[in-house]
Structure 1
Amino acid sequence: MSKSLILALSLLTTTLSVSSALASSGSHWGYEGKMGPANWAQLTPENGACAGKNQSPINLTGFIESDLKAIDFSYRAGGNEILNNGHTVQVNYAKGSSMKIDNIQFNLLQFHFHAPSENHIMGKSYPLEAHFVHADKEGNLAVVALMFEEGKENSALAGAWSQMPAHAGDKSVMKTTADANKILPASKDYYRFNGSLTTPPCSEGVRWFVMKEAVSASKEQIHAFEKVMHHGNNRPIQATNARPLLK
């Protein structure tokens, strides 16, 4: 088997793994009761990492001053499918959008939402948080997190919100292609830490980039997402342990 084919299969496997963790309605886990976050690590051997020492989300505080390099975002309109998997509402992204950091290109796979926010910034919780999930050619993962504050309506979300699937398992082709670049804030300054996926299998080794600047979403937009989810879909804050948090 050629090296290029091995890499392609590796990326496909990782993409499917991320999709399974963040988009599969068949995953037997949830946010409440016996299937809730406190028991994720015990639900199946594949979820063992949920009991790890470098888990997400966290409360971002106690920062170390660092010369963080700018993220080179190369996003274009590409959100072509929206789905409700019972755990979140997710917009799947076509190939062609990426970000570059550490001299590595990470391709945008999808973005999805949590309410209330999973990460906190200096103890503050936000009513809504978006995660933009990326993978490089070797399958390494990077997540850009964006906080929303209640305020004016967010026009960049309008297309996705107008097609938000009401029931778990529903999905549809986007009528208007979503543009992740328009969702991001004007300032691209960020906090950085190493963590994990915030849903089973809670895989570690994920690069996290949390935007410092929040954007707005209206009360109606936030409520519409909460109504579709029927419950909070945020994993509780995890211990930071010895991880450095950079700003």
Structure 2
Amino acid sequence: MTLHARALSAALSIGLLSSALSASAAPPHWTYTGSEGAAHWSEIDASFAQCALGHQQSPIDITRTVKTALPQLVFHYGSATPTIWNNGHTVQVNLPPGNTLQVGDQTYELLQFHFHTPSEERIQGKSQPMVVHFVHKTAAGELGVVAVLIKAGRANPALSPVFEHLPRKGEKITVDELSLDLAALLPASLGYYDFAGSLTTPPCSEGVHWMVLKTPTTLSSQQLGAFRKLIGSNARPVQALNGREVKESE
């Protein structure tokens, strides 16, 4: 197997979902704890003001929903050779074009997926050990994120190629012979919760369409432990709902 790895300067790191909107070369530094943690993001830079001032912030605790005839999530996912990146905030799996999600008359292109531990989204106050966020973008630039909760259980063979090649901080890895079966990353049941939200990392921009699947997948304790050892806790606290309606598929 040919393994190509290259280290990137920490100054070039960009945060999670914000990378789907901007490619700023040297963004302000932020973390999840301490003086640069989530409670202080809005103080770090003027561009982060939405983290405190926004009224549709993510993540949320899903406690009350309205059953609705939501459109089906139709995933046109195939196989792809990923680039696995440790950007200092998470492990992000960047993907080539060609994998899409159809939601009603809206088509989203899959850009990347990444992980948070514990899960940022909660259901009835309960979090899971991890969540994976699949970040999509329409041709008009609108973001749609599918969240798949992950509980501890059996090892996940579909994710094993990623967890077997976890990069060090600032490192990007491309394995020429590695091909991810993207459809296998999803649970069999695709019922979901639907709501308007934001990026869960600075600059916390709003206008993100969130779709949280109701059925979780699993990772083994060893897989979960490997990620935590590398990244640590990287979940933003839940945010106020501020009157938003959360729809639930029937």
TM-score by length of 1: 0.89
Offset of residue 41 of structure 1? 1.1
Separation of aligned partners in 2, 1:16 and 1:124? 23
Give the structure with the higher percent helix. 1
> Are 1:25 and 1:86, in contact at CA under 8 Å, matched by a contact in 2?
no
Structure 1 gap ranges (5+)? 1-14
2:8 aligned residue: none
Q: TM-score, normalised by structure 2?
A: 0.88
* C-alpha separation in 2, matches of 1:23 and 1:97: 25
| Structure 2 counterparts to residues 153-192 of structure 1, below 5 A | 153-165=155-167, 167-174=168-175, 175-192=177-194
Q: Is the aligned partner of 1:68 residue 2:67?
A: no
Matches within 5 A, 1:1-247: 17-19=18-20, 27-51=28-52, 52-165=54-167, 167-174=168-175, 175-229=177-231, 231-247=232-248
| CA distance, structure 2, for counterparts of residue 197 and residue 79 of structure 1 | 26
Number of residue pairs matched by the alignment: 231
Matches of 2:183 and 2:112 in 1, distance apart? Answer: 13
Evaluate the alpha carbon distance shift between residue 25 and residue 190 of structure 1 in structure 2; reply closer, same or farther with a 3 A threshold: farther
Q: CA deviation at 1:78?
A: 2.0
One-letter code aligned to 2:19: V
**Sequence identity (%):** 42
1:83–1:171 contact (8 Å) kept in structure 2: yes
- Alignment partner, residue 6 of structure 1: none
User: Residues 191 and 17 (structure 1 numbering): CA distance in 2 closer, same or farther, change over 3 Å?
Assistant: closer
Distance in 1 of aligned mates of 2:209 and 2:122: 17
The one-letter code of the counterpart of 2:165 is Q
**Do 2:28 and 2:45's aligned partners in 1 also have CA atoms closer than 8 Å?**
no
3-state SS in 2 of match to 1:39: helix
1:236 to partner: Cα distance: 0.3
Distance 1:227 1:21, change over 3 A: farther
Partner Cα distance (2:25, 2:214) in 1: 30
Structure 2 unpaired stretches of 5+: 1-15
Change over 3 Å in CA distance of 1:62–1:108 after alignment to 2 = same
Residue type of the alignment partner of 1:38: A
Question: Displaced runs of 4+ in structure 1, greater than 6 A?
Answer: 20-25
Task: Name the CA distance, whole Å, in 2 between partners of 1:126 and 1:16.
Answer: 20
Cα distance in 2, alignment partners of residues 79 and 58 from structure 1: 32
